[in-house]
Structure 1
Amino acid sequence: MALMTRAGLLLLLLITSVPVLADSAIEVRDFERPVMAERYRDLTASLRCPKCDAQAIDSSDSPVAADMRERVADLLREGRSDKEILDYMVARFGEFVLYNPRLDERTWLLWGLPFVLVMIGGFIVAVFVRKRKHAQVRALSAEEREYLNALFNREGSE
């Protein structure tokens, strides 16, 4: 009887683990040259899944990401350059699929704003430092000197 429960438990474990193993299947892409495989890995890591939140297509389980990976592999086999493949993906899915947006008339502010802000901050710091360095110490008036002397003399006598 104990053998029966062990066999049943093992069978139950096998049945429940099959769907988990099926979901984590690794896609294998065969390329003629290792350079092509490296390009494939680089491209799929640099493309964002349009359906997933901030996840590259190389690690996404989304059907859209699987189709994108397949299309990247097909374009590589056709002999397309990395730029052509990225252009194709941008034309199809929009600029969002690129983790590093391109510098053009729509993204110049995105790329230039950090440099401008650093320059403005440096200018403000330089102005404050210069102002503080060149601040003049004004002389005390006669009235202020008398008041200070009275304070020192009072403290010294106590």
Structure 2
Amino acid sequence: MRALLFFVLLLGVVANAPAVDLEGEQLARYHDLNAELRCLICQNRSIAESDAPLAQDLRAIVERQIAAGRSDGEIKQYLVDRYGDWVLYDPPLNSGTLILWAGPFVLLAVGLLVVVLMMRRRRSAPVSEPSLDRDRLARLLDDEKPRPSSDDDDSSRERS
């Protein structure tokens, strides 16, 4: 039973082993490219960070392409042709990706415009004084009768 378990574990390690061994500059290129390519399943992670099966396949493709002597640009173009611009973390500026590049700046400009217009409107609005109902105020003041102070009470007691 232990031999079977050992065989299964060994098979799993061999299956996940890279198909081609890269060294030196090729290994550095491999890691750089993996960091620049987006996992199509995870969407927020690079293929270097992702454990998804598709990310493993993409890493294997990158590794084989580097071993075949292709440049970084050729490898990226191969993946873009196959999966679209979405596979790149830094998509190129073209008509399809223009909203990605210009969108944040347009939203910032609209937000600043709204703030400026609100500030102008607030500044140009006439300052209205609170309306006073003078008749009501006079009635309230008339209804209040002055209360005798404690000195007045003492003097009135002395007279009695």
- Tell me the TM-score normalised to structure 1 length: 0.65
Partner residue, 2:158: none
1:154 to 128, 139, 153: 139
Q: State the distance in 1 between where 2:135 and 2:75 align.
A: 84
Deviations 1:86-143 (A, max 9, x none): 1121012222322333221111012212211111111011111121122223578xxx
8 Å contact 1:46–1:56 — kept in the other structure? yes
For the aligned residue pairs, the C-alpha RMSD in angstroms reads 3.2
Q: Alpha carbons of 1:66 and 1:128: their partners in 2 closer, same or farther (altered >3 Å)?
A: closer
Partner residue, 1:71: 61
Q: Which amino acid aligns with 1:136?
A: P
SS of residue matched to 2:22:
coil
Q: Which amino acid aligns with 1:153?
A: A
Q: Tell me which stretches of 4 or more aligned residues in structure 1 moved more than 6 Å.
A: none
SS of residue matched to 1:42:
helix
In the alignment of these two chains, the number of paired residues is 139
Deviations 1:43-77 (A, max 9, x none): 12332345x34354333352x54443233123323
Partner residue, 2:21: 30
Q: State the distance in 2 between where 1:21 and 1:132 align.
A: 73
Q: Return 5+ residue gaps in structure 2 as ranges.
A: 145-160
Q: Which amino acid aligns with 2:136?
A: L
Q: Return 5+ residue gaps in structure 1 as ranges.
A: 1-10
Aligned-residue offset at 1:85:
1.6
Q: Quote the sequence identity (%).
A: 34
8 Å contact 1:49–1:57 — kept in the other structure? yes
Partner residue, 1:3: none
- Tell me the TM-score normalised to structure 2 length: 0.64
1:83 to 73, 84, 88: 73
Partner residue, 1:47: 37
Q: Alpha carbons of 1:113 and 1:75: their partners in 2 closer, same or farther (altered >3 Å)?
A: same
Partner residue, 2:85: 95
8 Å contact 1:72–1:85 — kept in the other structure? yes
SS of residue matched to 1:137:
coil
Pair member with larger Rg: 2
